[in-house]
Amino acid sequence: MSHPMLPGASHDEMAEQLFVRDLKGFVAGAAEEGQRAAAAALDPGEGHNARAEEIFDRLHGLASFRNWAALRRESQELLWDVVGASVRRQAAELEARAAAAPAIGSVTVDPDFVIPSHLADHDVHLMPGGYVGDDGGVAQGALMDRGGAVYMLGRNGGLMNDRRGHTAAAHLFHRFPDFAPKRLLELGCGIGASLVPLAGYFPGAEAHGIDVGAAQLRYAHARAAHLGAAVHLRLGDALAAPFPDESFDLVFSCVTIHELQPGTIGAMMDECHRLLRPGGVVLHLEVPQRYAEMDLWGQVRGEIEARYNNEPNWKAATSADYVALLGQAGFRDIAVGYQDATDAAARGNAGFGATSKGVFRSWAVMSAIR
């Protein structure tokens, strides 16, 4: 399944994108196992107070690690290079398709919006221009969408890239089977790949999303409208959303926390509390790993991601005590665990538990009541 806004790929572009996908598979395969073995050999031991960081540092003494790390990054740079060229080829057509989208929903771009400092001139995942890049149209959103589909290697709902939204809905249905929000908000909605499916489970609800990039929002709006979803999108910071107190019945996020400024997760929980009416529900979906439970190589790989893939807050997001943070923000009935990834949420469906089934098979979820 696809949608009308997704950039296509010519014969050669598809070959390039499949090459990137398979190169990433190569880098993450036997070549990575070798790095894991090297990391174990360079381990300073449990007594070291910055064990993973020390291993990361020591690995750089090995040419085999440096070359692998360079190839790993190059696979990511190549991804954006080939997808970017494909999107630029289709730029006019994409703008025309956006203009032809049904007139439902809205996009509000506040010219005085201040981009969060950690995302300004810091391109997360090495996507040129990052979340905020803007040519005045939809190109940066198209880059994000097509690049994301290639990056996820089909593990997040294929070309729809929407499995996280269905999974978030499955968690809501598990915990609150009768919950029917009238107004819902996603913080960090990006191209709307999670907002659209989640909103689809609550017909008649007013669906809002905020993000930091105008081009992402224009693309998200056109994408949603072509799919028949009326979503209201505006530029906004997840720590200072442009809405009054108690505006929503549901506030949620999907993999936004690990892109926050380090040290601000608590502030985001406070903001969710402010935005929700009493009795409203907060839900966050994140990567399905806990730093403390990760094996040593997983922790070292986190250092590689932070340094060489511009991933700002991954360690803090996987280390945070969400029960404490949600409690401090004033929430009650807090649940933290893992939700099975799904493409179709059903009311009362289970699939929530205390253990992760692995990357792309589970997502970490934290939910509570205001």
Partner 1 sequence: MSDTRPRTHAVPRHAIEGMRESDDQLIGMVTALAAQLAVTRERLDTVERLAEAAGLFGPDAVDRYVPDERAQGARDTIRQTLIDRIFRPIRDAAARTARAFEEPRR
Taking CA atoms, 252 is separated from 21, 173, 195, 212, in Å, by: 30, 14, 9, 16
Q: Considering the complex, state which of residue 8 and residue 128 has its C-beta at the smaller distance from partner 1.
A: 128
Q: Name 339's Cβ contacts closer than 8 Å, sequence gap at least 6.
A: 167, 168, 170, 171, 174, 285, 351, 352, 362, 363, 365
Q: Considering the complex, state which of residue 91 and residue 104 has its C-beta at the smaller distance from partner 1.
A: 91
Q: Considering the complex, state which of residue 165 and residue 236 has its C-beta at the smaller distance from partner 1.
A: 236
Taking CA atoms, 4 is separated from 136, 200, 350, in Å, by: 20, 18, 33
The DSSP 8-state label assigned to residue 133 in this structure reads -
Looking at this protein, which amino acid is placed at residue 127? M
Per-residue binding letters, 59-88, with partner 1 (x by CB under 8 A): -xx----xx-xxx-xxx-xx-xxx-x----
Interaction of residue 120 with partner 1, rule CB under 8 A:
yes
Decide if 148 contacts 193 (C-beta within 8 A).
yes
Interaction of residue 115 with partner 1, rule CB under 8 A:
yes
Stretch 295-314 residues interacting with partner 1 (CB under 8 A): 307-308, 310
Per-residue binding letters, 129-148, with partner 1 (x by CB under 8 A): xx-xxxx---xx--------
Stretch 184-243 residues interacting with partner 1 (CB under 8 A): 213-214
Number of residues that bind partner 1 (CB under 8 A): 46
Decide if 266 contacts 243 (C-beta within 8 A).
no
Residue 100 burial by CB count (10 A; 0-12/13-18/19+): exposed, middle or buried? Answer: exposed
Q: Considering the complex, state which of residue 120 and residue 240 has its C-beta at the smaller distance from partner 1.
A: 120
Q: Considering the complex, state which of residue 64 and residue 319 has its C-beta at the smaller distance from partner 1.
A: 64
C-alpha 124/C-alpha 118 separation (Å) is 10
Q: Considering the complex, state which of residue 5 and residue 215 has its C-beta at the smaller distance from partner 1.
A: 215
Which residues of the chain form contacts with partner 1 (CB under 8 A)?
11-12, 15-16, 18-20, 23, 57, 60-61, 66-67, 69-71, 73-75, 77-78, 80-82, 84, 115, 120-123, 126-130, 132-135, 139-140, 213-214, 307-308, 310
